[in-house]
Structure 1
């Protein structure tokens, strides 16, 4: 009886450091169940390659030279909902973790991970499971559990139109400078708008703001 060989997981690597991409490709190419089908060093290239190559899994850094990996994740999943995204990054701060989860990422792994654990995460995510690095799991769960009971969510209704625009861009993972460029404002004005948003929502972090915006949209 003939056995059908399983198709390898088609993988796209996204990181602005070539040495990281080369290292990952070297390690992953040694695995029979994984095939690296492309590499990208920018957000724009990642979105284009994801649309063109339609990989099963994307390994992507949170921060890219021309934008946010979180924004790229959102754009990619809108166009390719069957693609799975794992953030492989050095950033373990609350804002990065929750923004990634809100954007729809299926995994969040720190670059300190060993190769065996990374390969295991890729296979699990490809099978439909979600993976969070143990060092950020409890923090993310604590934030997400609080979304449904936060008393300050009603403050969203008090936001002005411009404050809502700023909040929407925060939810896309944009920095203050990127928001300023998008809206034709100064960095200081953006900071003032964000201060107003935080005060009205009774929050203190960008990730909370992004989570409330996404929850309201949903």
Structure 2
């Protein structure tokens, strides 16, 4: 199946380079280019791409606000954010807005192509190890153990086992690591992850991490290395 990609970057030469790379791939089709976030929102609505390759810093509307609007519109497009700086504040804001992953602009062509395909498949293009670093780098942006917002009532739908899996996901652990810690099979973990996403109305594992921290299921001060489960 062909993956339809929209390129969003205010630098035309970068878009040209991305297009040249992607058009060499038989399963990728560049359906359009946008030079800013406002154009990205409009073109996503009109072209219905599977993946939007989104720059962050752009005129008129930045990639974070564009991501927020695209996700809020409820379409199927997945957002893969490109950034110059590893784990900067813009990356975290984009993930909270609904992006399914991020890559550095100096990523290898192989990493870029893999990221597009992973996001298109419904997974998050943020490796568990990177998720851990994300948690550690941005714990201070998240609610602390005091003054938390009210816990999302959707959590009441989760079973005790699903809450345990949710806590492990929030710490950036892989399915294999979760299976070993909970003494279940990886297949069972995958089933639990799918149910968690459905019940909490979340798009992918990155959104699970953000949700878990915002609802106090893991203590941000512990940076993903422990914490409490919600009761």
Q: Does the pair score TM above 0.5? A: yes
Equivalent residue, structure 1, for 2:105: 111
Give how far 1:34 is off.
Answer: 0.2
Unaligned runs of 5+ in 1: 1-6, 158-210
Residue 117 of structure 1, CA deviation: 1.1
Unaligned runs of 5+ in 2: 151-209, 216-231
Contact kept, 8 Å, 2:5 with 2:29, in 1: the verdict is yes
Please show how residues 28-47 of structure 1 align to structure 2 within 5 Å.
28-47=22-41
* TM-score (norm. length: structure 2): 0.60
Structure-to-structure mapping, 1:1-218, within 5 angstroms: 7-132=1-126, 136-142=130-136, 150-154=144-148, 215=214
How many positions carry a matched residue from both structures? 155
Structure with greater proportional helix content: 1
Conserved in 2, the CA contact under 8 Å of 1:107 and 1:130? yes
Q: TM-score, normalised by structure 1?
A: 0.63
SS at match of 2:147: helix
CA deviation profile, 1:78-126 (whole Å, cap 9, x unmatched): 1143110000121324311210111110011001111111101111110
Root-mean-square deviation (CA, aligned residues, Å) is 2.9
Q: Aligned pair in 2 of structure 1 residues 28, 144: CA closer, same or farther (>3 Å)?
A: same
Deviation, 1:69, is: 0.5
Structure 2 CA distance, aligned partners of 1:86 and 1:53?
17
Q: Residues 94 and 133 of structure 1: is their aligned pair in 2 closer, same or farther, counting only changes over 3 Å?
A: farther
